[in-house]
Homo-oligomer: A and B are copies of this chain.
């Protein structure tokens, strides 16, 4: 065992992998799959997506200033990959993938109805960094699939939706929970 020094690179994994939806009207609705995404602030709730300027969704994002982050699941893994490989220049991705565009509550961009969580965002800044521009979005609403809301506690159980992540070129489901935040200092129940 020992350490080897590599060249600099993007080696932060596992990452989320989400389907971002854009478009102000049905004719321009598009889906772009993104792993360069994360939460950047708790309050106000903000996240980012990084997008290459040559992507079809880029101009729509810039003009509309809105997008929706749709979480992905095992059932959506094929669509997630396909929407990341193919371009909205060549395909109507919603119909090709048999996904249903739904009405968001606040933004004009559509939600993907089949996704368990849809995060509606308004762009607050765009920062060119190199290959990618970083769009920071403020979360203006979250839509949740009620099938995953626990009837007794009212809590949303994301694990029941079978979420996936992206790790070093591979899509993965999640394994069992190792514990919740704070488990290392939790008092054991007697």
Contacts and interface: CB of A to CB of B under 8 A. Distances in A.
A contact patch SS: strand
**Can you tell how many copies of this chain the complex includes?**
2
B172 A12 contact: no
Interface stretch (A24-32, A56-64, A136-144): A136-144
Interface of A: 1-16, 18, 35-48, 50, 69, 71, 74, 77-79, 81-82, 84-86, 102, 105, 111, 113, 117-120, 129-132, 134, 136, 138-147, 149, 156, 158-159, 163-185
Counting from the closest, the 5 A-B pairs by CB-CB distance are A38-B38, A173-B175, A41-B129, A81-B184, A82-B184
28 contacts: A8-B45, A8-B138, A9-B139, A11-B71, A11-B142, A13-B158, A13-B163, A14-B14, A15-B38, A15-B39, A36-B41, A38-B38, A39-B50, A40-B132, A40-B134, A44-B130, A77-B179, A81-B182, A84-B181, A85-B181, A85-B182, A86-B185, A158-B167, A169-B181, A170-B181, A172-B178, A173-B174, A174-B174
